[in-house]
Amino acid sequence: MRVLIAIVGILGIGYLGICAWLYFRQSSLVFFPYKTIEATPASFAMPYEDVRIKSANGTKLHGWLVFADSSVGTILFCHGNGGNISHRLDLVSVWRSLGYDVLIFDYQGYGESEGSPTEAGTYADVKACWNYLTNTRDINPNRIVVLGRSLGGAVASHLVSDLSHVFPFPVKPTRFAQTTPAGLILEAPFTSIPDMGARLYPFLPVRLLSRITYDNQANLANIHTPVLIMHGTDDKVVPLAMGKEVFASANEPKRFVELPGGHEDTYLVSEELYQRTLTDFIGSSLPTEQK
């Protein structure tokens, strides 16, 4: 009996140790920043400006504003939890070829952006980029579509949720009457980080331990901007069923499209369908005349 009690005690201490590690080190399980910039838009023969944007806490962010030959609108892009902006240039090239300028930026701690990544930091970063487009570049919000992939989807939906209120946060009012973007696009979104954690670690009380939320469902409940959600049918990272749960949380007008492919490659595997879906949605969301 004493041996059994000792074994149970050791296992219990080990389990509590794992829980403590998960609680204090969870940022390392969510964020995978990569500092080295391995290419620039020039590598893809795309005209661009190198931009430096100051986040709300004073941290300097790095990004690129890539220009289409004949722009019909602007995409503000929030990337996923790994790598940096130099690893998304093939995507930017696709959007540019469809006629969209693209602002792509690195969160704090990624690429050439200063600081370290946090959930609150990513929210401050995307707000600073929104301010840059609508104030510094003087772009009407009704010409902007916010697009987020994977974890970036939660960053994007948080921004649009905030913009749906009357500036209770550090986003500067502009001269434009509209304060929300023309549309919100989420690619391979998850419901929340606690849900993802519970799926990956079913033996741990992840929901009690999680200090990072990234709750797409809560964000979408506040949004009435048109929403498009695209999800790969063979996504092994964020299951298709989770994307459908996110879609169920969204208000109308909304659209859900299943694309053949996995978590990262739907724009390649479903190239024609992906591009047609994107252009149809943005085309229906943007105003017919420049304002």
pLDDT in tens, the chain (291 residues): 776 776 666 766 766 666 766 677 788 889 999 999 999 999 999 999 999 999 988 899 999 999 999 999 999 999 999 999 999 999 999 999 999 999 999 999 999 999 999 999 999 999 999 999 999 999 999 999 999 999 999 999 999 999 987 554 555 666 776 789 999 999 999 999 999 988 887 877 777 878 899 999 999 999 999 999 999 999 999 999 999 999 999 999 999 999 999 999 999 999 999 999 999 999 999 887 543
Separation between Cα atoms, residue 206 and residue 194, nearest integer Å: 6
The contacts found for 131-135 with CB under 8 angstroms, 24 or more apart, are 131/171, 131/172, 132/51, 132/53, 132/103, 133/74, 133/76, 133/103, 134/172, 134/174, 134/176, 135/172, 135/174
Distance CA 184, CA 247 (A): 12
Looking at the DSSP bridge assignments, the partners of residue 171 are: none
Pairing of strands 32-33, 82-83: parallel
Continuous segment of H or E residues that includes residue 5: helix 2-25
SS3 259: strand
